């Protein structure tokens, strides 16, 4: 009977130790106030002067474009009389 009580007490102490060590570790490392990733993606169609349009995947971080990659199979060639209804934007305005 005494051995059973000792085992239960040791298990409780072990559980408290694990819980408290994790709590202290998280609060001391600053993970609570750690900044989350501010990277996001979106898709943009870009056309050149020959009315050839291609979709691009744009990766932004903190409102700056850090990567622009063409999306395979999303290009189209419009006729010479087609007018692009989209306004021209600079790279900085995208993100």
- Residue 19: per-residue pLDDT: 67
Question: Which residues, 6+ apart, have CB-to-CB distance to 64 below 8 Å?
Answer: 92, 95
Torsion of CA 22, 35, 69, 83, to 10 degrees: 140
Residues of the chain where predicted confidence (pLDDT) is lower than 70: 1, 19-37, 90-92
- Residue 29: per-residue pLDDT: 52
Q: Tell me the domain boundaries of the chain.
A: 2-33, 35-79
Question: Which residues, 6+ apart, have CB-to-CB distance to 65 below 8 Å?
Answer: 58, 59, 91, 92, 94, 95
- pLDDT, one tens digit per residue, over 42-64 is 888 888 888 999 999 989 888 78
What's the pTM value of the predicted model, to 2 decimals? 0.54
């Amino acid at each position: 009977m005494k051995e059973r009580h000792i085992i239960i007490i040791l298990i409780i102490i072990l559980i408290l130790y694990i819980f408290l060590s994790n709590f202290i570790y998280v609060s001391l490392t600053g993970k609570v106030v750690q900044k989350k990733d501010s990277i996001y993606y979106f898709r943009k169609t870009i056309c050149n002067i020959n009315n050839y349009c291609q979709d691009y995947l744009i990766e932004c971080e903190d409102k700056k474009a850090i990567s622009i990659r063409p999306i395979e199979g999303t290009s189209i060639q419009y006729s010479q009389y087609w007018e692009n209804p989209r306004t021209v934007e600079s790279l900085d305005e995208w993100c």
